[in-house]
Amino acid sequence: SQQGEEDPQALSIQEGENATMNCSYKTSINNLQWYRQNSGRGLVHLILIRSNEREKHSGRLRVTLDTSKKSSSLLITASRAADTASYFCATDKNYGQNFVFGPGTRLSVLP
Amino acid sequence: NAGVTQTPKFRVLKTGQSMTLLCAQDMNHEYMYWYRQDPGMGLRLIHYSVGEGTTAKGEVPDGYNVSRLKKQNFLLGLESAAPSQTSVYFCASSYRTALHTEAFFGQGTRLTVV
């Protein structure tokens, strides 16, 4: 079964708005990562947050992690049309031995 | 810097045929992975390797075999292709450290089994 589950499955917003995606997982983890996939391409790593961290920033990205609720959120601020992509969370229980991905959130940013 | 390279990029197979997908990475990563991606399913782990000469099963290993004879290469084999194996296959690699475990992905192989 999937370790991570993203929510919502699809999200459509206007350029300039913020986009929030959520990820829930089932078992304990060492870290949680977010990836982006543009249509027809491979996944690109965005940000990693460790189990002892609660919040992390990278440019327009903000990730939070709540290990008590086994959930994470990815916030993209001031979205751009170029942010249109699918976003996946991946949990890592064993320092990279076995990433498990959720089904992803499809984000559409309309100009 | 090539990163992770997959070959071929596209392939059409007939049911029952065999093929091998090649993944090569030039980052000296210890870990390598094979995933399949189907619509609405996200990525599912097929097999992975934690080092040269070692492999392990992932979530959906049936119908696939792998080999890691050289550290930089990870091969995925389909011995007798089935239509259910129509998918996009992604290879990935990562370092084996607690600090840097982000995965680097190839561009994918789109396989159709007819």
Q: Which residues of A fall within a CB distance of 8 Å from B104?
A: 45
Query: How does B69-99 read in b/e, with b if 16+ C-beta sit within 10 Å?
Result: eebbbbbbebeebeeebbbbbbbbbbbeeee
Tokens of A35: 């990836």
Contacts for A52 with CB less than 8 Å, ≥ 6 apart: none
Confirm if B91 and B32 have CB atoms less than 8 A apart.
Answer: yes
Say if the Cβ atoms of A97 and B40 lie within 8 Å.
no
Q: How far is Cα A54 from Cα A68, in angstroms, rounded to an integer?
A: 11
A97 contact B CB<8A: yes
Tokens of A63: 């990730």
Say if the Cβ atoms of A44 and B105 lie within 8 Å.
yes
CA distance readout (Å), B42 to A16, B50, B92, B99: 27, 23, 15, 25
Q: What is the band of B2 on the pLDDT scale with cuts at 50, 70, 90? A: confident
Which residue in B31, B102, B105 is closest to A33 by CB distance? B102
Confirm if A72 and A64 have CB atoms less than 8 A apart.
Answer: yes
Instruction: Give the tens place of pLDDT for each residue, A84-109.
Output: 999 999 887 665 566 778 889 999 99
Residue B54 Ramachandran class (φ > 0 left, ψ -120 to 50 alpha, else beta): beta
Q: Is the pLDDT of residue B99 over 60?
A: no
Q: How far is Cα B18 from Cα A52, in angstroms, rounded to an integer?
A: 46
Confirm if B42 and A101 have CB atoms less than 8 A apart.
Answer: yes
Q: How far is Cα B102 from Cα A38, in angstroms, rounded to an integer?
A: 18
Instruction: Give the tens place of pLDDT for each residue, B38-94.
Output: 987 788 999 999 899 999 998 899 999 999 999 999 999 999 999 999 999 999 998
Q: How far is Cα A36 from Cα A56, in angstroms, rounded to an integer?
A: 17
Rg (CA), chain B: 13
